Amino acid sequence: MASLFHVIATASHHLRQADRTIALKGTAAFLMAATLVSVILTGIAVLIVGERDWLSALVLAVALPLILITPLLYLFATRLIALDRHNRELQQAAREDHLTGVFNRPHLLGMLERELALSQRHNYNVSVLLIEIADFSQLLDEQGRSVGEQALRLFADCIAEKIRESDLFGRFDGAQFLLVLPHTSFEDATRMGEGLRAIVATLKLDGRIQDDGTRPFVSVAAKIGAASTENSGRNLNTLLNEADYSLYQNRNERRDKPPAAGA
């Protein structure tokens, strides 16, 4: 019991106005129900014992829940709601990249490992696309960190909008992102990579303000490496190494063409 009170007291540091509003609505609903039950039980008791001063009894039945329950109920409700919201925010932060909002690397790798285990059990292919913003270091040097972060968010949003609900997508490292494609062959994965590359090529964002006051658009391009369990097996590190090698080949070719096979 002491630990419960400690947790509730700690949650008071995370209170927001929305938490108080939700708690107030919940408290009001509970009190209405409690008051109704109290009035009904009191009415029954008055009828049974034949109490003449029934009005005072009913008033007391309404007043007692309001006086005794309201403060404690509201206090506990606000703390518990704030604690629940704070825990959900921590869980979200543990699995999402803070800048782009997509999965972060640890969570994504855990999901990929689970997907590989399921594919082994149910005998289906899993493919991955390792996608990076081309020449991102040059973009940072020329446009600055603010434009670079904007490019990462725009890049991630663009791809996240085009993938299937069953796909897993997250930020892998720096300007690299990993797309996990369950039930997808290598051929289908490379075809999807071509489509994503074409979509990314249409992206434009505002660049750094120049000395003459102009703010030219900056284009974004993608380099993609593909790998699949049908070529690389179901070992996580092997699959990622093949995708990385495919990306390395694509990066060095400096041409827009389908991702090279990882094996």
Instruction: Give the mean model confidence (pLDDT) for residues 120-133.
Output: 95
Reduced to 3 states (helix: H, G, I; strand: E, B; else coil), residue 224 is strand
Instruction: Give the mean model confidence (pLDDT) for residues 142-161.
Output: 93
The pLDDT tens digits of the residues spanning 157-169 come to 999 999 999 999 9
Quickly count: other Cβ atoms within 10 Å of residue 71's Cβ: 11
- State percent of the chain over pLDDT 70: 61
The pLDDT tens digits of the residues spanning 75-110 come to 666 666 666 665 665 565 667 898 999 999 999 999
CA terminus-to-terminus distance, the chain: 60
| The token pair that represents 34 in the structure block | 């409690």
Sequential DSSP letters for 113-151: HHHHHHHHHHT--EEEEEEEETTHHHHHHHH-HHHHHHH
DSSP, res 92: H
The pLDDT of residue 234 is above 70: yes
Cβ contact 197:224 at 8 Å: yes
The pLDDT of residue 262 is above 50: no
The per-residue pLDDT for 259 is 47
How far apart are alpha carbons 157 and 171 in whole angstroms? 11
- Strands 176-182, 217-219: pairing is unpaired
DSSP, res 96: B
The per-residue pLDDT for 7 is 46
Instruction: Give the mean model confidence (pLDDT) for residues 32-54.
Output: 62
Average pLDDT, the chain: 79
The per-residue pLDDT for 52 is 57
The pLDDT of residue 33 is above 50: yes
User: In the chain, where are the structural domains located?
Assistant: 2-95, 105-253
H/E stretch holding 48 reads: helix 17-49
Instruction: Give the mean model confidence (pLDDT) for residues 19-40.
Output: 66
pLDDT band at 251 (very low <50, low <70, confident <90, very high): confident
Overall fold of domain 105-253 = Alpha-Beta Plaits (3.30.70)
Dihedrals phi, psi of 10, to nearest 5 degrees: -65, -35
pLDDT band at 242 (very low <50, low <70, confident <90, very high): very high
